[in-house]
Structure 1
Amino acid sequence: MDLNAVQMFVSVVQAGSLSAAAERLGVPLPTLSRRIRELERQLNVQLLERSVRGTRLTDAGARLYEHAGRGIEALVEAEQAVISDQARLKGRLRLSLPPGFEPWWELLSAFQQRYPDIRTHVYTTERRVDLVEDGIDVALRVGPIVHESMVARHVLSYRHVLVASPGLIDRLGMPESVEALHRFPCAVWALGANAPGEWRLGEQTVAPRSVLATNEYTHLRSRALAGEVVTELPPFLAASAIRAGRLLVLLPGEPMPEQQISLLYPSHRHPSAIVRAYLGFCQEQVSMLVDASTIASG
């Protein structure tokens, strides 16, 4: 097997297309395409499916990449370690985050302070992006993960909290039961215009008297702080206001469902040194979110 051709094949998978790999490797596109075809003839299998949108791995290509990618990555890392043990990570990190995920903004700032030569591009969307098609290295996802072609690294479990301002509670009283919420103006998180605004509180599901539905938690927090509504918030968005006495936790004995935060990256793409550094940093810093969750729910 031609190891140079295998390395070119790995570069094509990591870059997402033949043209991007040719530019990264500094070789003419026709040369790269020819070497990949020769490798396929040598192995008597098709490794890549080519289209105007780029390239996709066949099953045989995925098996080859799974083994070859790890070996080449290990060789590259060994070479870099020999050249300089103090070499600084350089390059680009492309991330996807949900809107309004403020704690992660602080985490990314700390990450770039530790790795100042890594340029970070953040794509914020509620849409479930295709990491390969959209060129994303790592996506942060809230909720269950069902995508079989992705590796999901669990980061944190938490529960939303129901909150209101002291002023609203002074006017309407503290709700003593889930049923009592019907006398309060409420604001709910909803992804679509026709999505039902419901809360699961303990063993009960309630459809509150909703005066606002939005898919932006910072908007919900603003309206709660203004004393206008009862709403649900992720604990790390409510923690500072709860500590300052600007928000109160309602019905703490009726917990909302557990949520999961995970970091996703493509299973067929061996994570680069930059991606591994980011994943490791997130695991280190997650205590910040855990502390916020404890404060908000405790």
Structure 2
Amino acid sequence: MDLNATRMFVAVVQAGSLSAAATRLGIPLPTLSRRIRALERQLKVQLLERSARGAKLTDAGKRLYEHAGRGIETLADAELAVVSDQAHLKGRLRVSLPQTFEPWWDLLAAFQRRYPDIQIHVYSTERRVDLVEDGIDVVLRVGAIVHEAMVARHVLSYRNVLVASPLLLERFGVPAQPDALHRYPCAVWASRIDVPVRWDLGGHVIEPKAVLSTNDYHHLCRRALGGDVVTELPPFLAAGAIRENRLVPLLPQYPLPEWSINLLYPPHRHQSTIVRTYLDFCQSYLPKIIQACKT
């Protein structure tokens, strides 16, 4: 099998399209396309389904990437070990983060101060990404893990906190139990408009009177600070305002459910030196993340 063509195939998978891979490799697009087609003819299988939106792996392509990617990464690691030590890592790291997960922004900034020659691409989204097809190295995932073929490293757990401003509480009073929230204007986090939102408050489930729904926690925070609504916020967004008495935590005896946060990545044999270094750095930075998630 042609090693150079296989390197190009792996680059296409990681970049997400032929054109992006051609730019990354510094070769003409027709040359790259010709080499991939020659590899397909050699193997007598179709590896990529090409479309205007990019290149999608076939089942045969996924199998080749699983095996070839391992060897290519090993060769890249060997080359890196010869020319550089970890303190002078160079290259690109592609990560996916939940939207508004601010503590991880500080982690990435600290990581780049430690490794200034690593370029980071951050893809912020609420949807579940496919690491291979989306060209992502490591995902920070909130909630349940469903990718059985991936490694999940638990980072931390936290609970959102129910809050309102002192101004709103002057108007409506402080709720003593969950059902009292039906009297309050509420704002909820929602990814879809057609799915009702329920709050599980210590096992007591209510459907709040939602005057606003959005998938942006910063928007919810702004409206709560303005005295307009009761809402739930991640602790790292609420903590500062609570300390400054601009927000008040509500019903602490009825806690919201716990969220599990995990780093998701391919099995160890596929990791590049940059990915391994990033994972180790995350582990060392973890106490600061945990502190940021305390209210």
TM-score by length of structure 2 reads 0.80
Partner letter of residue 64 of structure 2?
A: L
Match of 1:226 in 2: 226
Match of 1:282 in 2: 282
Match of 2:243 in 1: 243
Partner letter of residue 65 of structure 2?
A: Y
Quote the Cα distance in structure 2 between the aligned partners of 1:285 and 1:227. Answer: 35
Partner letter of residue 85 of structure 2?
A: D
Match of 1:144 in 2: 144
Match of 1:186 in 2: 186
Partner letter of residue 253 of structure 2?
A: G
**8 A contact 2:87–2:115 mirrored in 1:** no
Match of 1:214 in 2: 214
Match of 1:115 in 2: 115
Quote the Cα distance in structure 2 between the aligned partners of 1:197 and 1:208. Answer: 7
Q: SS at the partner of 2:88?
A: coil
* Identity score, percent: 70
1:198-209 to structure 2, matched below 5 A, reads 198-209=198-209
**8 A contact 1:241–1:247 mirrored in 2:** yes
With 38-47 and 63-72 compared, the bigger mean Cα shift is at 38-47
Quote the Cα distance in structure 1 between the aligned partners of 2:237 and 2:208. Answer: 21
Q: C-alpha displacement at 1:158, in angstroms?
A: 1.6
**8 A contact 2:184–2:229 mirrored in 1:** yes
Deviations 1:169-217 (A, max 9, x none): 4554432211222333322223334442421111211122333333221
Q: 1:31 to 1:286 in 2, by over 3 A?
A: same
CA RMSD of aligned residues (A): 3.4
| Alignment pair present for 1:155 and 2:151 | no
| Alignment pair present for 1:80 and 2:77 | no
Gaps of 5+ in 2: none
Q: 1:42 to 1:256 in 2, by over 3 A?
A: same
With 162-171 and 226-235 compared, the bigger mean Cα shift is at 162-171
TM-score by length of structure 1 reads 0.79
Q: 1:59 to 1:214 in 2, by over 3 A?
A: closer
Q: C-alpha displacement at 1:91, in angstroms?
A: 3.1
With 177-186 and 130-139 compared, the bigger mean Cα shift is at 130-139
Q: 1:220 to 1:39 in 2, by over 3 A?
A: closer
With 122-131 and 60-69 compared, the bigger mean Cα shift is at 122-131
Q: C-alpha displacement at 1:105, in angstroms?
A: 2.3
Q: SS at the partner of 2:236?
A: helix
Q: C-alpha displacement at 1:240, in angstroms?
A: 2.0
Deviations 1:105-149 (A, max 9, x none): 222222222222223333444455565565544444433344567
Match of 1:71 in 2: 71
Q: 1:221 to 1:39 in 2, by over 3 A?
A: closer
Q: 1:185 to 1:71 in 2, by over 3 A?
A: same
Quote the Cα distance in structure 2 between the aligned partners of 1:192 and 1:8. Answer: 39
Match of 1:15 in 2: 15
Partner letter of residue 247 of structure 1?
A: L
Quote the Cα distance in structure 2 between the aligned partners of 1:186 and 1:23. Answer: 48
- State the aligned residue count: 294
1:154-173 to structure 2, matched below 5 A, reads 154-170=154-170, 172-173=172-173
Q: C-alpha displacement at 1:10, in angstroms?
A: 2.8
Q: 1:34 to 1:171 in 2, by over 3 A?
A: closer
Quote the Cα distance in structure 1 between the aligned partners of 2:34 and 2:213. Answer: 55
| Alignment pair present for 1:90 and 2:90 | yes
**8 A contact 1:80–1:87 mirrored in 2:** no
Match of 2:252 in 1: 252
Deviations 1:237-273 (A, max 9, x none): 1122223333332222222122233444578x94443
**8 A contact 1:236–1:289 mirrored in 2:** no
Partner letter of residue 9 of structure 1?
A: F
